[in-house]
Structure 1
């Protein structure tokens, strides 16, 4: 009887031990699951915080981009206004340049008029920007300005005393414009007051011939004595 009682006690103790072990395992498993859930929660919280920071940064970037777009739109509007103002200015500059060439001494006339006409033709071209058109006109003005400080010799056909003559033309800046026949026996100069070519006496032949050689780099630069039209007296 005592043995049976002891066995029963031992069995109960063993059952309690087994139950306790099972409970501990469940507790350990729950604790592990809780830790895992806690880690997942922390990770999700960090991800949410990172997304908040990212979204805030993106909002700032979008705001900046909207400002840039707004600035660009305003700039485009300003450029459009400026272009509308520049185009009439270009036409006025071309008209002034054309008039200037017509009133200037008649040197390189066809070349200069062709340059102006080419610029006029460019005004109708959509593939050339307004800024480039303006630059081209300014370049034409620079070329015209440069004529005042250069010396040039070229062949041309001039009407001298009612006759068409093949001559060598000598331009010294805008100060003097002269010609000499190809045989170097006759010389003349352009009279801006009379707006015609006039003959010069033979004493100018050697001077103009020397000037032609200098302009063609056939002689070293030297002082040249040339005919210069005296300025008109002020009224």
Structure 2
């Protein structure tokens, strides 16, 4: 009986030791696993923090880009408003120019006939005026007609040339001028010195100074001048050539019509 009890005690002790040993092993294994899990959690937490930091940095970059875009949008809006103001103003100018063009076309339709009338009137005036450089003046009238038929000459230039011709004609009315030319008398051609004082007097003198003539508006002929006028006509010629000072001289004057 003693042996049985003793055996049971030994068996119980052995089992207790085995359980104690097994429990310690189990406890150590659990701690190791817990440690590994904690390490894993820490690593996951670090990685999560790194991802959070990356996301935060990206968010900050996006926020900066957003603010930049907002600023650019505001600037573009101001600039677009400015451009719209310019476009509106340009459109007003275009409309104004178009109205002027339309008006100009109406003016052109009225101006062109007037210009032709001015040329006709100039031609008629030259024909009825004293025979002062008549050939040259008629050539100027013909050039004006040619200009009016040219498509490469602007209307403004055509009008300018007509006004220039009128200005030249007006100049004849106040100029003292002398020039050489041919005078036809009785079918004979004579080379003479012409001199005119505006349209008040148109005279001619032979190159030898022995004969002089004056244009008669009433008869449309050249009248021979008495010898008493030769000196005055000669002085007029010299004054026109700036050979002597201007002074009074005795010449026949005629009234222009």
Is 1:190 aligned with 2:209?
no
Question: How much has 1:32 moved relative to structure 2?
Answer: 2.3
Is 1:173 aligned with 2:201?
no
Extract unaligned runs of 5+ from structure 2. Answer: 1-23
Counterparts of 2:46 and 2:190, CA distance in 1: 130
Partner of residue 97 from structure 1, selected from 98, 122, 131: 122
Counterparts of 1:165 and 1:174, CA distance in 2: 22
Q: Is the 8 A contact 1:180 1:186 kept in 2?
A: yes
Counterparts of 2:146 and 2:34, CA distance in 1: 119
Once the two structures are superposed, the pairs formed by residues 32-47 of structure 1 within 5 Å of their partners are: 32-47=57-72
Distance 1:8 1:188, change over 3 A: closer
Structure 2 equivalent of residue 153 of structure 1 = 178
Distance 1:203 1:24, change over 3 A: same
Work out the number of aligned pairs and report it. Answer: 232
Counterparts of 2:168 and 2:255, CA distance in 1: 25
Distance 1:223 1:12, change over 3 A: same
Question: How much has 1:120 moved relative to structure 2?
Answer: 1.2
TM-score after normalising by structure 2: 0.78
Once the two structures are superposed, the pairs formed by residues 109-120 of structure 1 within 5 Å of their partners are: 109-120=134-145
Extract unaligned runs of 5+ from structure 1. Answer: none
TM-score after normalising by structure 1: 0.85
Deviation per CA, 1:5-54: give whole Å up to 9, x if none.
Answer: 66565455444433433332232233223223323333333344444334
- State the secondary structure of the residue aligned to 1:99: helix
Question: How much has 1:175 moved relative to structure 2?
Answer: 0.8
Structure 2 equivalent of residue 129 of structure 1 = 154
Counterparts of 1:167 and 1:13, CA distance in 2: 135
Larger mean Cα displacement after TM superposition, 97-106 or 51-60: 51-60
Q: Is the 8 A contact 1:119 1:137 kept in 2?
A: yes
Counterparts of 1:28 and 1:130, CA distance in 2: 79
- State the secondary structure of the residue aligned to 1:152: strand
Counterparts of 2:64 and 2:255, CA distance in 1: 102
Larger mean Cα displacement after TM superposition, 26-35 or 206-215: 26-35
Distance 1:49 1:200, change over 3 A: same
Q: Which runs of 4+ in 1 moved over 4 A?
A: 5-13
Structure 2 equivalent of residue 24 of structure 1 = 49
